[in-house]
């Protein structure tokens, strides 16, 4: 497999993760509208493990996104990185997967608190 083929597969994977992320974001938005915001709900979101996990996701996303931009800037300045397009896409892919995991973590945390609505009364 040549570099261009791997690049196209990575682009397709990144696009797929973007679509799944948008779907999760919309689901989180709908869940958030149906949640009663009370003390029990807020205490469950303020748990140390949930907060720590979210901080790790944000840190990893930021780190890989900054590394992607930094190395891409270095590549333009004359420092040539072998298979640079694959390297940049790999950094972008890890950043997007981390963003997806962040959204999924929120979806899982909010789902038990959403009130079930009946379709027909």
Q: What is the pLDDT of residues 92-118, one digit of tens each?
A: 999 999 999 999 999 998 888 777 665
The residue with tokens 């079930």 is 116
120 part of a folded domain: no
Higher per-residue confidence, 45 vs 103 = 103
60 in helix, strand or coil?
helix
In a domain, 52, yes or no: yes
Domain annotation covers residue 121: no
Residue 118 covered by a domain: no
SS3 of 5, please? helix
At which residue do the structure tokens 């799944």 appear?
A: 20
* Stated pTM of the model: 0.81
pLDDT of residue 70: 86
Specify if 7 maps to a domain: yes
Range of the domain at 17: 3-36+44-113
Residue with tokens 């190395």: 71
Tens of pLDDT, residue by residue over 53-93, are 999 999 999 999 999 888 888 876 667 767 778 888 899 99
Count how many domains the chain has. Answer: 1
Overall size of the chain counted in residues:
121
């Amino acid at each position: 497999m040549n570099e261009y083929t791997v690049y196209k597969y990575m682009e397709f994977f990144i696009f797929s993760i973007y679509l799944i992320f948008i779907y999760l974001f919309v689901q989180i938005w709908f869940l958030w509208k149906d949640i009663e915001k009370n003390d029990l709900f807020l205490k469950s979101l303020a748990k140390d493990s949930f907060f720590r996990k979210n901080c790790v996701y944000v840190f990893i996303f930021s780190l890989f996104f900054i590394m992607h931009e930094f190395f891409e800037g270095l590549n333009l300045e004359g420092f040539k990185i072998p298979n640079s397009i694959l390297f940049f896409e790999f950094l972008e892919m890890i950043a997007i997967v981390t963003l997806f995991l962040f959204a999924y973590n929120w979806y899982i945390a909010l789902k038990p608190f959403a009130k079930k609505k009946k379709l027909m009364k």
